[in-house]
Amino acid sequence: MSVIPEDLEDILNKRSFAHIATIGPKGEPQSSPVWIDWDGQYLKFSQTTTRQKYRNLQREPRLAISALDPEQPYRYIEVRGRVARVEDDPDRAFINRMAKKYMDADEYPYDQPGDHRVIVYVEPQHTTRM
């Protein structure tokens, strides 16, 4: 059973930008927006392995994710959890699905040569809401 309240799952399925907060190498918080996907068990987002967020999560898998309802910005969900696993996205299927959801584009347009893209699976452990 998920800790995500059923009445807030819609936020995770909309074009909601989520801010991912990780713990930096000196214990400092690091936060940045990402596209998210919710499959009923895991919150997922795409990342390249050269980013600070990825390195932070390799060292410390705990994170917080907050997402606003794009139609009602005073309605939000915060999810605290940990990385359950990381999978390669070699054919870019996941990031392309996110590009379709967020940009209505068939392919993610910002890939750079040599990018090693992965899918981060987050297991929700606690939520807060408004």
Nearest Cα to Cα of residue 26 among 44, 64, 52: 52
Number of residues in the chain: 130
Q: Encoding tokens for residue 15?
A: 């074009």
Residue 70 within any structural domain of the chain: yes
Do 130 and 66 meet the contact criterion of CB atoms below 8 Å apart? no
pLDDT at site 1: 67
Domain assignment present for residue 1? The answer is: no
Number of domains into which the chain is organized = 1
Residue 61 lies in a domain: yes
Predicted TM-score of the model (pTM): 0.95
Q: DSSP letter string over 39-70?
A: -SS-EEEEEETTSHHHHHHHH--EEEEEEEET
Name beta bridge partners: 113. Answer: none
- Cα 116 from Cα 8, distance rounded (Å): 32
* Token pair for 32: 């940045």
Q: What is the CATH number of the domain that holds 46?
A: 2.30.110.10
Q: What is the pLDDT along the chain (130 residues), one digit of tens a residue?
A: 689 999 999 999 999 999 999 999 999 999 999 999 999 999 999 999 999 999 999 999 999 999 999 999 999 999 999 999 999 999 999 999 999 999 999 999 998 888 999 999 999 999 998 7
pLDDT attached to residue 82: 97
> Residue 13 is part of which domain span?
6-125
Asked if residue 130 belongs to a domain, the reply is no
Taking a C-beta distance cutoff of 8 angstroms, is the pair 108, 53 a contact?
no
Any domain includes 82: yes
Whether residue 25 is contained in a domain is answered as yes
